[in-house]
Amino acid sequence: MKKVIATLLSMFLTLSFVSVVTYGNLPGGSDTIDLGHNVDKVSEFVVRGKNVSKFESTSSIEVASVSLDNNTRDGYALYLKTTHGVLRSGTSAHGEEDIAYNLSKTQSGNSPEGSDSFLSLTIPASPPTTQTLILGTETALSGDDLLEDPTEIDFTLKVNVISASFVDMAGQYSDTITLIYQDK
């Protein structure tokens, strides 16, 4: 009987030791597990402008290469505006008149889909003289409107004059296109 009790006691102590090693301090206890997810903020905007000194035809001319990368959920805004909205001469001494032009673009890359609160890249054909949203959101997004995809977009801004009838006529014409980026 002593052998049976000794064997049972030995087995009990062995099982207790194994369970303490396997399950931690018994009969109670706790442990913590830390979780984390860290992604650095990306908010980069690069414009490589190409000054144009003369138009030869009505064909589109690349005037800027633009790259925008952003991974913030509350969005950003990209605005476009021009000084005159036309090529304007500083004088009319020789009959110079404003020269109308259009804007266009080619693009590649990814940007969030447009919605009621987020505008996909939209270049107005007629150059605006007021600050005009062309990509993103006017106000910081929140709630269900928060973005779920990062933006990695490249586009080329193009200009074409509507008529080439002036290309060999005297005059100095100019306009300025401004792109404004704001992270929200």
**pLDDT, position 28:** 78
Residues 6+ apart with CB under 8 A from 82: 127, 128, 129, 175, 176, 177, 178
In Å, what is the CA distance from 66 to each residue of 3, 77, 89, 108? 87, 14, 28, 11
Residue 167, strand partner residues: none
| Burial state string for 25-61 with b = 16 or more CB within 10 A and e = fewer than 16 | eeeeeeeeeeeeeeeeeeeebeeeeeeeeebeeeebb
Q: Distance between CA atoms of 135 and 109, rounded to whole angstroms?
A: 14
pLDDT in tens, the chain (184 residues): 566 565 655 666 565 555 555 555 556 788 999 999 999 999 999 999 999 999 999 999 999 999 999 999 999 999 999 999 999 998 888 889 999 999 999 999 888 887 889 999 999 999 999 999 999 999 999 999 999 999 999 999 999 999 998 888 888 999 999 999 999 9
Q: Distance between CA atoms of 20 and 36, rounded to whole angstroms?
A: 29
Q: Distance between CA atoms of 111 and 50, rounded to whole angstroms?
A: 24
Rounded to the nearest 5 degrees, what angle is found at the Cα of 13, between the Cα atoms of 10 and 15? 105
pTM: 0.80
**pLDDT, position 16:** 57
Q: Is the distance from CB of 147 to CB of 41 less than 8 angstroms? A: no
Locate 143 and state its tokens: 């709630």
**Among 158, 149, 142, 153, residue whose Cα is nearest residue 49:** 158
Q: Where are the domains of the chain?
A: 43-183
DSSP-based three-state secondary structure for 16 = helix
